[in-house]
Amino acid sequence: MKLTARSTLVEVAARVASVLAAAKIRAVLTGGACASLYSRGEYQSFDLDFILQSVVSAERLDSVMKSIGFRRDGNRYVHPRAPFFIEFPAGPLGIGADIDIRPVVYRVRGVRLRALSATDSCRDRLAAFYHWNDRQSLKAAVGIARRRRVNLDTIRRWSEREGESDRYGGFLALLRQARRSGRRR
């Protein structure tokens, strides 16, 4: 799969996942890119964050990413044609104080893309809302939960541990409202 200006976020994610796997580099897609996947495009991210779960030198990562046309520009990788950039934030893989995250395999045209689950992606967006008051992330969390099956009990318990029961209640109210308005269409 060659990356072009028309490549979608999913195509870029699959291409990066494929080349990392071929190089025996374990990585998990997180952040806004997962929210884009699970909200079916309602939320749109222009960067893809992969948390590395393998020890890899910067030189080796540069070489692997260069093999598909990406070059390092500061702390991100850019492609001359693809509209998305790639970042590898420092780990560990976690959501708020929870670092016991179990990625899922999201299949894209035969490529195994390791990513947060829909429930964890929802929690990830809520973490941005809880800790930085990011309203766009709240909207993304609602979009994920509206379009995908998420475990609301898991999200509620995690929210309580994060000290955010009240904000979880606000999220739930917005989700119910979004589900009702979606049925009227």
Residues pairing with 30 in the sheet: 49
160: Cβ–Cβ under 8 A, 6 or more apart, which residues?
A: 168
Return per-residue pLDDT of the chain as tens, 185 residues: 789 999 999 999 999 999 999 999 999 999 999 999 999 888 899 999 999 999 999 999 999 999 999 999 999 999 999 999 999 999 899 999 999 999 999 998 889 999 999 999 999 999 999 999 999 999 999 999 999 999 999 999 999 999 999 999 999 999 999 999 875 54
Question: If you compute the radius of gyration of the chain from its CA atoms, what whole number of angstroms results?
Answer: 17
Q: What one-character DSSP code corresponds to residue 94?
A: -
Residue with tokens 């990788």: 77
Alpha-carbon distance of 103 to 95, in angstroms, equals 12
* Residue among 123, 130, 75, 134 nearest 99 (CA): 123
Q: What residue spans define the domains of the chain?
A: 9-115, 118-183
31 torsion bin: left (phi>0), alpha (psi -120 to 50), beta (else): left
pLDDT tens-digit series, residues 109-125:
889 999 999 999 999 99
